[in-house]
Structure 1
Amino acid sequence: MIKLEEINKYFQTEEVQTQALKKVNLHVKEGEFIAIMGPSGCGKSTLLNVIGLLESPSSGSYQLDGKEVADYKESQRTNLRKGNIGFVFQNFHLINQLTVSENVMLPLAYLDLSKSDRKKKVEDVLDRLKISHRRNHYPQQLSGGQQQRVGICRAVVAQPKLILADEPTGNLDSKNGQEVMELLTELNRQGATIVMVTHSQRDANYAHRVISLLDGEIVTEVENEIDLF
């Protein structure tokens, strides 16, 4: 599904150029759950942003579902993200003025769906992720764990093949963090491919494979003893 070959990423700040990714080679099969680990500043989030088409690589090849997308322009990357990639963030990024249902419905606004179809998809995902009883609440009325659950609902409501999670338990206590990881694992069992950035070895243990980055380079890949299917 994901095929990165010799990916480099540079950032230019005034006269200083920083290399965030160095000749990264990474293949992710459909249905895999991958965890990316490493110290702060090692390039984890940059790699996730490249995979999620939020940033373009400076050089190298990136194939997503067999399409070469490394040189896509912003408009092309935006169109490809719609309905194909779901994002889960550490800081939830919910809109306080919108209810749970309205927040979850946001990704569907970009798809050619009727109002009734959008509403049905929202109701289905809220039921499936066990947060439907909060559908009319606002984010500030929810616990951190509930807010992240809503964030995951929003990420998967359009039924994307790929879910990208950046420190999804970073702002949660241990109990809520475990519930979120179990939820991501269940979505993976249902067919979603997941790539997750995390500092937590406990969270990484849920993944099929753990990729370690150091100074923008992949230094190790470890298989966990988890059945892929």
Structure 2
Amino acid sequence: MIKTENLNKVYRTEEVETSALNNVNLHIKKGEFVSIMGPSGCGKSTLLNILGLLDDISSGSYLFDGQEMAKLRENGRSKVRKQNIGFIFQNFNLIDELNVFENIELPLIYNGINPSERKKKVNEILERMNISHRSKHFPQQLSGGQQQRVAVARALVTEPKLILADEPTGNLDSRNGNEVMELLTDLHAKGATIVMVTHSAYDASFSQRTIELKDGQIIAEHSNKKEVSIG
């Protein structure tokens, strides 16, 4: 599903050039659950943003479902992103002025889904996430765990091919964090492809494979608790 070859990302200003990713070669199969770990500033979130088509590459190649993303213009990348990718963020990114139902409905509106179909899809995902009783509540009326459930529901409502999670338990206590990780594990068991950025080795243990970044480069992979060094 995902393949990068010699992927590089450089940020430039008039005075400074900063290399965020260096020759990243990554292959993620459909149905995999992969974690990306590394110290702050190593390029984890930059890589996730590129995979989610929120940022461009400087050089190299990024294939999503066999299609080269670098060749697409912004409207083409936006279409792929809206139709195929669901995002879960550390800070939930819910809109305070919208209730739970409306927050989850938003990506369906962006995708041009008609009102009756939107209502059906939102109600189904509310039931699946066990938050139907909160549909008319606003984000500030929810616990952190409930807000993250809404964020997960919003990510899933478009039935994306890929779920990208950036520190999904970062703002949660251990109990709510465990609930979110169990939810992601359940989604993976049902066939979801998930890529998660995390600082937590415990959270990463829920995934099938962990990729370690340092200074913008992949330095190691862990699969089934066994480390594979990258030469």
Give the TM-score, by structure 1 length: 0.96
> 2: distance between equivalents of 1:67 and 1:83?
14
Residue identity over aligned pairs, in percent, reads 63
Q: Deviation of residue 48 (structure 1)?
A: 0.3
> 1: distance between equivalents of 2:115 and 2:83?
16
Structure 2 residue aligned with 1:185:
185
Q: Deviation of residue 57 (structure 1)?
A: 0.6
Counting only pairs closer than 5 Å after superposition, residues 203-218 of structure 1 correspond to structure 2 as 203-218=203-218
Structure 2 residue aligned with 1:131:
131
User: Is the 8 Å Cα contact of residues 105 and 118 (structure 1) preserved in structure 2?
Assistant: yes
Q: Gapped runs of 5+ residues in structure 2?
A: 226-231
Q: Deviation of residue 224 (structure 1)?
A: 2.5
> 2: distance between equivalents of 1:111 and 1:144?
28
Q: Deviation of residue 191 (structure 1)?
A: 1.4
Structure 2 residue aligned with 1:58:
58
User: Is the 8 Å Cα contact of residues 181 and 203 (structure 1) preserved in structure 2?
Assistant: yes
Alignment-mate amino acid for residue 19 of structure 2: Q
Alignment-mate amino acid for residue 91 of structure 2: N
User: Is the 8 Å Cα contact of residues 125 and 157 (structure 1) preserved in structure 2?
Assistant: yes
Structure 1 residue aligned with 2:28:
28
Structure 2 residue aligned with 1:70:
70
Q: Which deviates the most, 65-74 or 5-14? A: 65-74
Q: Deviation of residue 183 (structure 1)?
A: 0.5
Alignment-mate amino acid for residue 110 of structure 2: Y
Alignment-mate amino acid for residue 139 of structure 2: P
Structure 2 residue aligned with 1:157:
157
Q: Deviation of residue 72 (structure 1)?
A: 2.2
Q: Are 2:87 and 1:87 aligned?
A: yes
- SS of the equivalent of 1:152 reads helix
Q: Deviation of residue 113 (structure 1)?
A: 2.2
- Structure 1 stretches (4+) deviating beyond 6 angstroms? none
- SS of the equivalent of 1:222 reads strand
Structure 2 residue aligned with 1:106:
106
Structure 1 residue aligned with 2:228:
none
Q: Deviation of residue 188 (structure 1)?
A: 1.1
Q: Which deviates the most, 83-92 or 184-193? A: 184-193
Alignment-mate amino acid for residue 87 of structure 1: F
Once the two structures are superposed, what CA deviation does each residue of 1:155-201 show, in whole Å capped at 9, x if it has no partner?
Answer: 01000010000000000000000000111111111111000000000
> 2: distance between equivalents of 1:188 and 1:124?
18
User: Is the 8 Å Cα contact of residues 83 and 107 (structure 1) preserved in structure 2?
Assistant: no
Alignment-mate amino acid for residue 103 of structure 1: N
Counting only pairs closer than 5 Å after superposition, residues 141-152 of structure 1 correspond to structure 2 as 141-152=141-152
- SS of the equivalent of 1:182 reads helix
User: Is the 8 Å Cα contact of residues 210 and 223 (structure 1) preserved in structure 2?
Assistant: yes
Residue correspondences, number: 225
Q: Deviation of residue 214 (structure 1)?
A: 0.1
Structure 2 residue aligned with 1:16:
16
- SS of the equivalent of 1:70 reads helix
- SS of the equivalent of 2:86 reads strand
Q: Deviation of residue 78 (structure 1)?
A: 0.7
Give the TM-score, by structure 2 length: 0.96
Q: Which deviates the most, 66-75 or 8-17? A: 66-75
Structure 2 residue aligned with 1:200:
200
Alignment-mate amino acid for residue 139 of structure 1: P
Q: Deviation of residue 76 (structure 1)?
A: 1.4
Q: Deviation of residue 83 (structure 1)?
A: 2.1
